[in-house]
């Protein structure tokens, strides 16, 4: 017989005085049988039918492969030796783990108390990883009771999650004023629609080459990376940093095959930094803050904007408004400015999608509709 697996669950309801912190229906039935001396009396104690208790005991006996109760139906009953051992083991475990159980119970109660606190807000956010966003999560919770439920993913996946209703807000990044026809244009335009989406300013940040201390290969550009055959470490498809890299390569007329290691992927800026720090790579594109945290040198290449975006319908929701108040505060903007490679630019401002990402020519697009062509 295979070992039995223990699964924990919890219930939400009125507080029961004296009830054990972790409850199990089988253990409650065994305790009731022991205390009452019969299955019918145990059923009355538990507020259940005799048939239900008898059926459950038989079901558990079949599952566990041992008899739990000695005695026939309708007669007095007592626990079998195995039933006694099972109940004893459960009570021993509860006694040994009482402190941890109490702490877990208290943590769950505190967490669920937020749902009933009208002064507390929770906002679901899918976003490209960003050090400032991590700092915002801590800051907003501590100062304004705004809790960001963040799931990190690539920029493209984050916006898709927003459009599919899997979050309230998304975080993505792109070069400042990316030109028409750029990879940013081709990547983000199909995902973002004026009139449907609202972009909220968050930060300006610097991306560049993370290199070993002293920059031994004297890398100053992606052209240098290609020319000197530096071992490069990339980010995965769907990440904003991968989009940025491909734009830089296109700008310098470099093919991906010119970069040694273009097909090697790491899941985060920190992982890229670690690959360089450990000597597995010579360079990678990433954040200045990640380079400094990894003890690396940093060669700035480009400034970009990190944007937050939500649907227009979410802009007036209390959680969104509470976050906007945090982003607009002088205290947060000062905190943001202390992070390496970051500037508080338009933080908390609801901005024009067309101005930030100027890819929509409404006049020409309107003229290219089927109705216009038919006319």
Q: pLDDT tens, 37-93?
A: 999 999 999 999 999 999 999 999 999 999 999 876 556 889 999 999 999 998 888
Full DSSP string of 286-343: EEHHHHHHTT-EEEEEEEEEEEEEEEGGGTTSHHHHHHHHHHHSHHHHHHHHTSTTEE
Instruction: Please check whether residue 336 is in contact with residue 132, taking contact to mean a CB–CB distance below 8 angstroms.
Output: yes
Q: Domain for residue 72, yes or no?
A: yes
Instruction: Mark out the alpha helices in the chain (DSSP H runs).
Output: 25-36, 39-46, 50-64, 81-96, 98-113, 131-144, 155-163, 183-188, 222-227, 240-251, 269-277, 288-293, 318-328, 330-337, 353-356, 362-367, 370-374
Residue 5 included in any domain: no
Average pLDDT score over the chain = 89
**Domain membership flag for residue 375:** no
Q: Which domain holds residue 310?
A: 121-355
pLDDT digits (tens, 9 = 90+) for 272-313: 999 999 999 999 999 999 999 999 999 999 999 999 999 999
Confirm whether 116 is domain-assigned.
no
Q: Do both 226 and 280 map to the same domain?
A: yes
The structure's pTM equals 0.72
Q: Rounded to an integer, what distance in angstroms lies between the CA atom of residue 208 and that of residue 241?
A: 10
Question: In the prediction, which pLDDT does 211 show?
Answer: 98
Q: CATH number for the domain including 149?
A: 3.40.190.290
What per-residue confidence (pLDDT) applies to 6? 77
For residues 129 and 242, membership in a common domain is answered with yes
Same domain, 196 and 244: yes
224-281: per-residue pLDDT in tens?
999 999 999 999 988 999 999 999 999 999 999 999 999 999 989 999 999 999 999 9
Residue 19: inside a domain: no
What is the pLDDT at residue 149? 93
Same domain, 150 and 87: no
pLDDT average, residue stretch 327-338: 96
Query: 3-state class of 279 per DSSP?
Result: coil
Quick check: is 371 in a domain?
no
Total number of domains in the chain: 2
Same domain? 91 vs 178: no
| Domain assignment of residue 32, yes or no | yes
Residues 138 and 262 in one domain: yes
pLDDT at 347 over 70: yes
pLDDT at 178: 84
Pair 172, 209 in one domain: yes
pLDDT above 90: residue 221: yes
The more confident residue out of 248 and 9 is 248
Same domain assignment for residues 144 and 71: no
Cβ contact 200:310 at 8 Å: yes
Among residues 63, 96, 129, the one where a domain terminates is: 96
Residue 107 domain-assigned (yes or no): no
239 and 302: one domain?
yes
Highest mean pLDDT among 63-72, 109-118, 180-189: 180-189
Query: Are both 202 and 169 inside the same structural domain?
Result: yes
pLDDT at residue 203 above 90? yes
Q: Say yes or no to pLDDT of 348 above 90.
A: yes
CATH number at residue 92: 1.10.10.10
Question: Do 81 and 145 sit in the same domain of this protein?
Answer: no
Tell me what pLDDT residue 10 has.
Answer: 76
Q: How far apart are CA 296 and CA 277, in angstroms?
A: 7
Residues 226 and 128 in one domain: yes
């Amino acid at each position: 017989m295979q070992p039995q697996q223990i699964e924990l669950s919890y219930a939400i309801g009125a507080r029961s005085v004296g009830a054990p912190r972790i409850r199990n229906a089988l253990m409650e039935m065994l305790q009731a049988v022991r205390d009452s001396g019969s299955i019918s009396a145990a059923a009355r104690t538990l507020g259940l039918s005799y048939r239900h208790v008898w059926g459950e005991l038989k079901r558990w006996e079949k599952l566990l492969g041992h008899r739990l109760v000695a005695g026939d139906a309708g007669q007095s009953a007592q626990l079998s030796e195995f039933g006694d051992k099972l109940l004893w083991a459960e009570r021993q475990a509860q006694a040994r783990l009482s402190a941890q159980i109490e702490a877990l119970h208290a943590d769950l109660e505190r967490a669920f108390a937020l749902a009933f606190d009208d002064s507390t807000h929770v906002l679901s956010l899918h976003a490209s990883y960003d050090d400032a966003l991590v700092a915002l999560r801590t800051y907003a919770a501590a100062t304004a009771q705004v809790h960001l439920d963040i799931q990190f993913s690539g920029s493209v996946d984050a916006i898709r999650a927003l459009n599919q209703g899997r979050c309230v807000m998304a975080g993505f990044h792109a070069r400042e004023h990316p030109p028409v026809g750029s990879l940013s244009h081709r990547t983000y335009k199909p995902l973002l629609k004026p009139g449907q989406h609202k972009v909220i300013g968050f930060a300006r940040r610097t991306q560049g080459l993370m290199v070993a201390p002293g920059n031994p290969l004297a890398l100053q550009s992606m052209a240098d990376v290609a020319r000197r055959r530096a071992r490069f470490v990339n980010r995965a498809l769907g990440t904003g940093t991968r989009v940025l890299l491909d734009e830089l390569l296109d700008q310098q007329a470099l093919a991906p095959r010119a970069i040694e290691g273009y097909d090697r992927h790491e899941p985060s800026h920190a992982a890229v930094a670690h690959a360089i720090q450990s000597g597995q790579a010579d360079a990678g594109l990433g954040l200045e803050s990640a380079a400094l945290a990894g003890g690396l040198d940093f060669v700035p290449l480009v400034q970009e904007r990190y944007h937050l975006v939500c649907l227009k319908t979410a802009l007036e929701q209390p959680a969104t408004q509470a976050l906007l108040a945090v982003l607009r505060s002088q205290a947060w903007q000062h905190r943001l400015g202390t992070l390496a490679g970051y500037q508080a630019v338009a933080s908390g401002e609801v901005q024009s999608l067309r101005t930030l990402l100027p890819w929509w020519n409404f006049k020409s697009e309107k003229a290219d509709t089927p109705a216009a062509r038919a006319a």
